[in-house]
Structure 1
Amino acid sequence: MSQEKLSDVLASQAEAFGVPGAAVGVLLGGREIYASHGVTSVANPQPVDEKTLFHLASVSKTFTATALMRLVAEGKVHLDAPVRRYVPELELGDERAAERITVLNLLNHTAGLDWNLIDDGKGDRSLAGLVAKLPELPLIAPPGARASYSQAGYDLAGRIVEKVTDLPFEQAMAALVLEPVGLADTVYGLAEVMVRKFAVGHNRGDDGELHVARPWGAFKEGARGDNPGGGLASSVSDLLRWARFQLGDGEGVLPESALRRMRERTVGLRASTLGEGFGICWFLHDLDGVHAIGHGGSGNGQFAELLIVPERDFAVVSLANAGPDGYPLNQSVVKWTLEHYLGIVQRTPEPVPYDERQAAPVVGRYEIDAMNLDIATDGTRLTLAVGIKPEIRAASDEEMPPDYPAAAIGFLPGDGDEYIVTEGGLEGQRGYFSRDDDGTIVGVDLAGRLFGRTTKAN
Structure 2
Amino acid sequence: MLISGNLAFASDEGWLYDFAAEVQSQAQSHNLPGYVFIFVRKGQPAKLITYGKTEKYGAKIDRNTVFRLASVSKTFAGVLMAKAVEQSELTWETPILDIVPEYGFNRLQPNPITLGHLMSQSSGFIPNAYDNLIEANYSLKRVLAQLAKLEPLCDPGKCYTYQNALFGVLEDYYANQQSSYASVIDQQLFKPLGMPHASTGKQGLVASPQWAKPHIAITRKKWRKASVQDDYYRYGPAAGVNASIEDMAIWVRAMLGEYPQVVSPNLINTVTTPLVKTKREMRRRKWRKFLNDAHYGIGWRVYDFNGHKLNYHGGWVEGYRADVAFAPDQQVGYAMLMNAESNLINSFTAQFWQAYFNSVEQQRKQEVAKQAGN
Q: Is the structural similarity TM-score above 0.5?
A: yes
Q: Alpha carbons of 1:339 and 1:171: their partners in 2 closer, same or farther (altered >3 Å)?
A: same
Moved more, 11-20 or 310-319: 11-20
The answer to whether the Cα contact below 8 Å between 2:274 and 2:297 also exists between their aligned partners in 1 is yes
Question: What is the deviation of 1:332?
Answer: 5.4
Bigger fraction of residues in helix: 2
The answer to whether the Cα contact below 8 Å between 2:134 and 2:143 also exists between their aligned partners in 1 is no
TM-score by length of 2: 0.80
Please tell me whether residue 107 in structure 1 is matched to residue 128 in structure 2.
Answer: no
Q: Alpha carbons of 1:339 and 1:132: their partners in 2 closer, same or farther (altered >3 Å)?
A: same
Equivalent position of 1:119 in the other structure:
134
The answer to whether the Cα contact below 8 Å between 1:26 and 1:316 also exists between their aligned partners in 2 is yes
Could you say which structure has the greater relative contact order, defined with CA pairs below 8 angstroms and 6 or more residues apart? Answer: 2
1-structure distance, mates of 2:89, 2:237: 19
1-structure distance, mates of 2:358, 2:211: 29
Equivalent position of 1:179 in the other structure:
191
Among all aligned residue pairs of Structure 1 and Structure 2, give the percentage whose two residues are the same amino acid. 19
Equivalent position of 1:77 in the other structure:
90
Equivalent position of 1:304 in the other structure:
322
Gaps of 5+ in 2: 1-7, 10-15, 285-292, 363-374
* Partner of residue 316 from structure 1, selected from 317, 321, 334: 334
Question: What is the deviation of 1:329?
Answer: 5.5
Question: What is the deviation of 1:170?
Answer: 0.6
Question: What is the deviation of 1:96?
Answer: 3.5
The answer to whether the Cα contact below 8 Å between 1:295 and 1:307 also exists between their aligned partners in 2 is yes
Gaps of 5+ in 1: 345-458
Which amino acid is 2:161 matched to?
A: S
2-structure distance, mates of 1:41, 1:26: 25
Equivalent position of 2:212 in the other structure:
199
Residues 268-295 of structure 1, C-alpha deviations (whole Å, 9 max, x = no match): 1214157610121210011222111010
* Partner of residue 260 from structure 2, selected from 244, 248, 251: 251
Aligned residues: 335
| Two-structure CA RMSD over aligned residues (Å) | 2.7
Residues 376-422 of structure 1, C-alpha deviations (whole Å, 9 max, x = no match): xxxxxxxxxxxxxxxxxxxxxxxxxxxxxxxxxxxxxxxxxxxxxxx
Question: What is the deviation of 1:325?
Answer: 3.7
Which amino acid is 1:119 matched to?
A: I
Equivalent position of 2:157 in the other structure:
144
Please tell me whether residue 159 in structure 1 is matched to residue 202 in structure 2.
Answer: no
Residues 30-49 of structure 1 correspond to what in structure 2 (within 5 A)?
Answer: 30-31=43-44, 32-42=46-56, 44-49=57-62
The answer to whether the Cα contact below 8 Å between 1:109 and 1:153 also exists between their aligned partners in 2 is no
2-structure distance, mates of 1:203, 1:73: 41
Equivalent position of 2:250 in the other structure:
241
Give the SS at the match of 1:35. Answer: strand
* Partner of residue 277 from structure 1, selected from 295, 319, 322: 295
Please tell me whether residue 96 in structure 1 is matched to residue 114 in structure 2.
Answer: no
Residues 24-81 of structure 1, C-alpha deviations (whole Å, 9 max, x = no match): 1110242211000111112x33211122111110000111111111110110100012
Residues 348-402 of structure 1, C-alpha deviations (whole Å, 9 max, x = no match): xxxxxxxxxxxxxxxxxxxxxxxxxxxxxxxxxxxxxxxxxxxxxxxxxxxxxxx
The answer to whether the Cα contact below 8 Å between 2:171 and 2:180 also exists between their aligned partners in 1 is no
2-structure distance, mates of 1:306, 1:116: 25
* Partner of residue 219 from structure 1, selected from 203, 216, 230: 230
Question: What is the deviation of 1:199?
Answer: 1.1
Q: Alpha carbons of 1:182 and 1:147: their partners in 2 closer, same or farther (altered >3 Å)?
A: same
Bigger fraction of residues in strand: 1
The answer to whether the Cα contact below 8 Å between 1:59 and 1:305 also exists between their aligned partners in 2 is yes
